[in-house]
Structure 1
Amino acid sequence: MRFRRKTLGIAGVAVAGALLLAGCSTGGSGNTNGNGGSSAATTGFNAAVDKVINPSTKKGGTLKLASTDDCDSWDPARTYYGWCLNMQRLQSRTLVNYSKVNGTKFTLAPDLATDLGSHNADYTEWTYTLKDGLKFSDGSAITAQDVKYAVERSYATDVITGGPGFYFTAIIDAPSSYKGPYKSGDLPSSAIEVSGNKITFHLKKAFADFNYLLALPTSAPVPKAKDTGANYTKQPVASGPFVISAYTPKKSVTFTRNKYWTQSTDDIRKPLADEIDLTINSNSDDIDNQLRTGALDARMDTAVNPTFQSQILTQPKLKANADNPAGPTTRYTAIATSVAPFDNIHCRKAVFYAWDKAAGLAVAGGAAAGKIAYSATPPGILGYDPSYNPYPSGKDNTGDVTKAKEELKACGKPNGFSTKYAYSTPDVTNGKAFAAVKAALGRVGIQVSPATASAADYYATFVGSPNNVKNQGLGLIAAGWGADFPTPYGMFQNIVNGGAILPQGNSNYASINIPEVNKILDDTGTPSTQESGEKLNHALMEGAQFLPTRYAADLWYRNPRMTNVTANNALGFGAYDVVNVGVSDGK
């Protein structure tokens, strides 16, 4: 999933963030805190990584959150930043969702559906029955047709930009001419069939992990009569326990309780707060200062900045209220072959060898930010191999200048060349990372200039448009990604499969299109193995377009007054799972 700085947004998912790890199960959970298991703790460093801390049933009060920029979208079909997927748990429900989001093993459970669905022998048909008594925030009934309509919207890529809708449009057996509900009306029953409160998805290829797709907010029900297309982000109709009651783009979002949501229909969410306020503040250091003084409860989009991080790690009182979750998240730079001279593999390899990964890790925050990555596949995903390092950058990981210069000669650019490095703003760390890249590549004559965009626009339209990447000469693209679900497909499908390239809202930023990579990812009917994962990892690295820099971890801080606190490693890159959080003082 996309990083915001975060990453990641991943930007993360991208980002300072931990994310979806391998080992997710699909069993139910009886835990009343909504995060599975019975373990709980009061407080302590890293206590919330895999436990629910400060357990409480006290209701009321206002949770005060902050972010440095707005979500890519509040429309559940269009959002893809990890922290925004986390925030969607406040307002959006899906047929299946995560009942346990902390730790490294996540649990799927029925949400709007009565169970985890049924499927035919070859996983090409999946059927679900909706629960009785479900209502939207406007009081109207939630129906199976509303779920169908939500998925149909993903086909309208000229209107519904961004988001993980590609997963659905790639496998549902829809007519090739279908362009979404705005232009083509309803999908035929041969694609998605609705009968009363039952919905059946007909797939054109076997997909055993379909329940993981349904846990994404893309399939959250949307009432057709209230759909405003590209403007739906301004006032989405809620199916979850909270509804957006006030929204000023790029300034603030207020969530209040959805009076039509009922606890009896929801075994996943156990909301306590009456209101949740999100303040959008581009001054990241100011957010940290407010966290330190207790004026804010938590930040959502990015981990704390280096200054506050240092204070947390050296002051026991602050450290006791912090967490440093890690998981299969890869920070990387995508190299666009549409931008000369990167159409020459040796020019790309020159960048690989000249890159100073040690400086990048230091800028990100040192050991608390993760560890240096030698290949694309992160820990927790089949195919990860810590001994595989196809482009060694010296014993100290500061780069192999000699090897980089050899590659420059091989690509016909012995004196180097000029290119642009794209990254999102206003993230403080991204700017420092650019300086480190400029210095490292400058040693071999590669001159790098910055190309920036607001974090809210960066992935959707800036680097998410292949034409914009080419036209603006964005040769190097800073990115981060966490697995949408714990398989090689869940990690890599959207970011490296040539078949996933979109004209807008594209997540394959460098338009990577390697036949062997595509073949492995397209084989969704065969269970993933370590061997097939390694083949994918090797094929991707041999193409020299995906330059991994680190496997990310992030440091998050929580106000001591927060109750029922746990890290959302499944969707939020380690940010706290705010849907179930309360406040001890009731204020």
Structure 2
Amino acid sequence: MTAAARRLAPAPAGAGWNAAVGAMVNPSDRRGGTLRLVSSADVDSLDPARTYYVWVWLLQRLLNRTLMAYPTDSGPAGLVPVPDLAEGPGQVSDGGRTWTYRLRPGLRYDNGSPITAADVRHAVQRVFAQDVLPGGPTYLVPLLDDPTRPYPGPYRTAEPLRSVRTPDEHTVVFHLNRPFSDFDHLMAQPCAAPVPRHADTGADYGSAPRSSGPYRVAQHRPGAFLHLERNPHWDRATDPIRPALPDRVELTIGLDIDELDARLIGGDFDINLEGRGLQHEAQRRLTADDVLRSHTDNPRTSFLHFVSVQPHIPPFDDVHARRAVHYAADKILLQQARGGPVTGGDLTTALFPPRLPAHQDLDLYPTGPDLRGDLDAARAELKAAGLPDGFEATIGTQRGKFRLVADALAESVARVGIRLTVKELDVATYFSLGAGHPQTVRRHELGLIVTDWGADFPTEYGFLAPLVDGRHIKHNGGNWNLPELDDPLVNDLIDETLHTTDPEARARRWRAVERRVMEHAVLLPLVHDKTLHFRNPWVTNVYVHPAFGLYDIQGMGLASGAPTGNDS
């Protein structure tokens, strides 16, 4: 037995391997202590309008409240947003175009000032200021904007957004330009967290944000640490979501991934907030030790790990060159690069995860019965592209598992003469200024990009639209439509889904969207992710949130006798 295993107590009753998937480990209402979190990457932004990392969205649940929020629930109910700042779900009228919310009484920021409906409207207006606040989701823009008179955001005009009304201090009314049945989900995103206009410093707001949640920023040194303390004006009686058990929350930032794993298992930290899972060395160590293994979870996260094939970077502007990569991919080797079938993910040739109704068995580019690649088909596509001897290209990635995937794909396609150079980009800015920035992609001529994606909210629209809808392309960073696909048929089919009330008919339309996207061969799906997470036994209320696929830190607490302090 290892030293770390001897230090750890046996798994509590009801705990064990995968015990926090679909259930809560160590339920407790004990208050106090310091929850010690760790991540290798930095927080992308503390401005709720600019963050897009899923783990930072979980962090935002400590700092900010929204009209709606996902409940503290480990089961299917966790997928359905419930009222948070609002007294109830959105009241829908005008054929699904008008949504009305009323705020709970007695809501305050961390400085004691009241939270008003105007603050919610101002937060929504900030989403339109992409020239000042790039990086976050922009679903609200096409739903609330007037194409004949585009709203420039609150920094370019004093005129309010006309599609959002505040008839009194407690009521917010949204007038959508088309029906959108998932609107409650949008009101659960961080960008909908209230921001008082008098405290808004534009691009600098993330350095000193107001807090509407149970914690506020005590200290923040980007790239090093983030410390949170209790918000003295948060009232538990007004908050049905957050137990707010620890007195402090401390996040250590920037550790090397292998050092992070070792120190987490050694007890220096309680939970890895970033949630990318243990690296291969730590995986082997934990799965070989029964005690350590009893403190791990291996959830299906519903994240899609994939490679984007960039049609605006030659020679991938030819669909045959893109298809050659699909056929040449050794799926088994790529799955092994992720960690194998147990901890790396379930192989997939489709985009939608199995839990969504539109999931289908779609395989337009079969790679042979052994899944090692159809090299004859790949060579035929290269010949059709006028490149029978292959070509050179660059694949963008980051360190860790992403790099292993890039190396595995390079090995796969080299068998048909495609010679890839691997380009590592910065981890902290990978999605905001690296792979997610079209200018960076062009500057480095990244013909292929390794990435993963989890739904912004757990519906077909929340999963696929940001990846393939041409209206979601962002040119200033934070772009998730990496191939910059702008197919009018795809866009029109997506719009049809929003007007379809019959669930089966809506699922059929989404399947048509998926098929059309795969015909373009711009996304190479690899696995629907599974990750191996480690939870120290003194952490209470541990569960994998079904809407996020990661541990929900806002519900966590600490058992009596938990370690305190951090020497990092």
Q: Same fold (TM over 0.5)?
A: yes
Q: Secondary structure at the match of 1:391?
A: coil
Do residues 437 (structure 1) and 414 (structure 2) align?
no
Distance 1:415 1:316 in 2: 51
- Percent of paired sites with the same residue: 36
Counterpart of 2:195 (choices 222, 227, 234) is 222
Query: What is the match of residue 92 of structure 1?
Result: 64
Query: What is the match of residue 4 of structure 2?
Result: none
Please list every run of at least 4 consecutive aligned residues from structure 1 whose deviation after the TM superposition is greater than 6 angstroms: none
- Do 1:332 and 1:479's aligned partners in 2 also have CA atoms closer than 8 Å? yes
Counterpart of 1:303 (choices 264, 277, 281) is 277
Task: Note the alpha carbon deviations across 1:184-212, whole angstroms, 9 max, x for none.
Answer: 23424444444221000110010111001
- Do 1:222 and 1:237's aligned partners in 2 also have CA atoms closer than 8 Å? yes
Counterpart of 1:180 (choices 143, 147, 153) is 153
Distance 1:111 1:408 in 2: 54
Deviation at residue 41 of structure 1 after TM alignment: 6.5
Query: What is the match of residue 379 of structure 2?
Result: 405
Counterpart of 2:33 (choices 32, 53, 61) is 61
Deviation at residue 319 of structure 1 after TM alignment: 1.4
Query: What is the match of residue 92 of structure 2?
Result: 119
Distance 1:233 1:357 in 2: 41
Deviation at residue 288 of structure 1 after TM alignment: 1.0
Query: What is the match of residue 27 of structure 1?
Result: none
Moved more, 402-411 or 470-479: 470-479
Do residues 82 (structure 1) and 54 (structure 2) align?
yes
Q: TM-score, normalised by structure 2?
A: 0.92
Relative to 1, partners in 2 of residues 1:477 and 1:192: Cα closer, same or farther, differing over 3 Å?
A: farther
Task: Note the alpha carbon deviations across 1:106-142, whole angstroms, 9 max, x for none.
Answer: 2321100111120104110001111111111111111
Deviation at residue 101 of structure 1 after TM alignment: 4.7
Query: What is the match of residue 533 of structure 1?
Result: 510
Distance 2:94 2:24 in 1: 38
Distance 2:422 2:229 in 1: 40
Distance 1:227 1:42 in 2: 46
Query: What is the match of residue 246 of structure 2?
Result: 273
Q: Secondary structure at the match of 2:286?
A: helix
- Do 2:334 and 2:408's aligned partners in 1 also have CA atoms closer than 8 Å? yes
Do residues 357 (structure 1) and 334 (structure 2) align?
no
- Do 1:42 and 1:55's aligned partners in 2 also have CA atoms closer than 8 Å? no
- Do 1:101 and 1:107's aligned partners in 2 also have CA atoms closer than 8 Å? no
Q: Secondary structure at the match of 1:495?
A: helix
Query: What is the match of residue 259 of structure 2?
Result: 286
Do residues 473 (structure 1) and 445 (structure 2) align?
yes
- Do 1:370 and 1:551's aligned partners in 2 also have CA atoms closer than 8 Å? yes
Query: What is the match of residue 162 of structure 1?
Result: 135
Distance 2:121 2:314 in 1: 43
Q: Secondary structure at the match of 2:139?
A: helix
Query: What is the match of residue 391 of structure 1?
Result: 365
Q: Secondary structure at the match of 1:52?
A: coil
Deviation at residue 60 of structure 1 after TM alignment: 0.7
Query: What is the match of residue 391 of structure 2?
Result: 417
Bigger relative contact order (CA 8 A; separation at least 6) = 1
Distance 1:104 1:404 in 2: 42
Q: TM-score, normalised by structure 1?
A: 0.89
Task: Note the alpha carbon deviations across 1:67-103, whole angstroms, 9 max, x for none.
Answer: 0010211111111111111111110100000114523
Moved more, 520-529 or 83-92: 520-529
**Aligned counterparts, 1:457-536, within 5 A:** 457-504=429-476, 505-523=478-496, 524-527=498-501, 528-529=503-504, 530-536=507-513
Deviation at residue 256 of structure 1 after TM alignment: 0.9
Moved more, 85-94 or 46-55: 46-55
Distance 1:581 1:534 in 2: 38
- Do 2:337 and 2:404's aligned partners in 1 also have CA atoms closer than 8 Å? yes
Query: What is the match of residue 25 of structure 1?
Result: none
Counterpart of 1:253 (choices 201, 204, 226) is 226
Task: Give, as a single letter, the amino acid of the residue that structure 2 aligns with 1:354.
Answer: A
Task: Give, as a single letter, the amino acid of the residue that structure 2 aligns with 1:53.
Answer: V
Counterpart of 1:562 (choices 533, 539, 546) is 539
- Do 2:144 and 2:163's aligned partners in 1 also have CA atoms closer than 8 Å? no
Q: Secondary structure at the match of 1:559?
A: coil
Task: Note the alpha carbon deviations across 1:49-69, whole angstroms, 9 max, x for none.
Answer: 111211112111111110001
Distance 1:196 1:459 in 2: 37
Query: What is the match of residue 553 of structure 2?
Result: 578
Distance 1:72 1:421 in 2: 23
Query: What is the match of residue 21 of structure 1?
Result: none
Counterpart of 1:72 (choices 44, 62, 75) is 44
- Do 2:458 and 2:547's aligned partners in 1 also have CA atoms closer than 8 Å? no
- Do 1:334 and 1:509's aligned partners in 2 also have CA atoms closer than 8 Å? yes
Alpha-carbon RMSD across the aligned residues, in angstroms, is 1.6
Task: Give, as a single letter, the amino acid of the residue that structure 1 aligns with 2:400.
Answer: V
Distance 2:273 2:523 in 1: 27
- Do 2:163 and 2:176's aligned partners in 1 also have CA atoms closer than 8 Å? no
Do residues 201 (structure 1) and 178 (structure 2) align?
no
Q: Secondary structure at the match of 2:369?
A: coil
Deviation at residue 417 of structure 1 after TM alignment: 1.0
Query: What is the match of residue 20 of structure 1?
Result: none
Distance 1:139 1:339 in 2: 52
Task: Give, as a single letter, the amino acid of the residue that structure 2 aligns with 1:137.
Answer: D
Task: Give, as a single letter, the amino acid of the residue that structure 2 aligns with 1:487.
Answer: T
Relative to 1, partners in 2 of residues 1:41 and 1:79: Cα closer, same or farther, differing over 3 Å?
A: farther
For structure 2, which runs of at least 5 residues remain unmatched after alignment? 1-11
Task: Give, as a single letter, the amino acid of the residue that structure 2 aligns with 1:472.
Answer: H
Task: Give, as a single letter, the amino acid of the residue that structure 2 aligns with 1:579.
Answer: Q
Distance 1:235 1:174 in 2: 32
**Aligned counterparts, 1:310-325, within 5 A:** 310-325=284-299
Task: Give, as a single letter, the amino acid of the residue that structure 2 aligns with 1:444.
Answer: V
Query: What is the match of residue 322 of structure 2?
Result: 348
Query: What is the match of residue 5 of structure 1?
Result: none
- Do 2:307 and 2:450's aligned partners in 1 also have CA atoms closer than 8 Å? yes
Query: What is the match of residue 208 of structure 2?
Result: 235
Moved more, 178-187 or 215-224: 178-187
Query: What is the match of residue 553 of structure 1?
Result: 530
- Do 1:336 and 1:476's aligned partners in 2 also have CA atoms closer than 8 Å? yes
Q: Secondary structure at the match of 2:71?
A: strand
Distance 1:103 1:333 in 2: 30
- Do 1:41 and 1:51's aligned partners in 2 also have CA atoms closer than 8 Å? no
Task: Note the alpha carbon deviations across 1:5-45, whole angstroms, 9 max, x for none.
Answer: xxxxxxxxxxxxxxxxxxxxxxxxxxxxxxxxxxx964211
For structure 1, which runs of at least 5 residues remain unmatched after alignment? 1-39
- Do 1:56 and 1:563's aligned partners in 2 also have CA atoms closer than 8 Å? yes
Do residues 128 (structure 1) and 96 (structure 2) align?
no
- Do 2:257 and 2:279's aligned partners in 1 also have CA atoms closer than 8 Å? yes
Task: Note the alpha carbon deviations across 1:305-331, whole angstroms, 9 max, x for none.
Answer: 111112222211111111111143211
Task: Give, as a single letter, the amino acid of the residue that structure 1 aligns with 2:81.
Answer: L
Distance 2:282 2:434 in 1: 30
Deviation at residue 174 of structure 1 after TM alignment: 4.1
Deviation at residue 152 of structure 1 after TM alignment: 0.6
Task: Give, as a single letter, the amino acid of the residue that structure 2 aligns with 1:441.
Answer: V
Distance 1:224 1:65 in 2: 31
Task: Note the alpha carbon deviations across 1:315-348, whole angstroms, 9 max, x for none.
Answer: 1111111111114321111111111111110000
- Do 1:152 and 1:186's aligned partners in 2 also have CA atoms closer than 8 Å? no
Task: Give, as a single letter, the amino acid of the residue that structure 1 aligns with 2:357.
Answer: L
Distance 2:455 2:161 in 1: 31
Q: Secondary structure at the match of 2:95?
A: coil
Task: Give, as a single letter, the amino acid of the residue that structure 1 aligns with 2:516.
Answer: A
Task: Give, as a single letter, the amino acid of the residue that structure 2 aligns with 1:540.
Answer: V
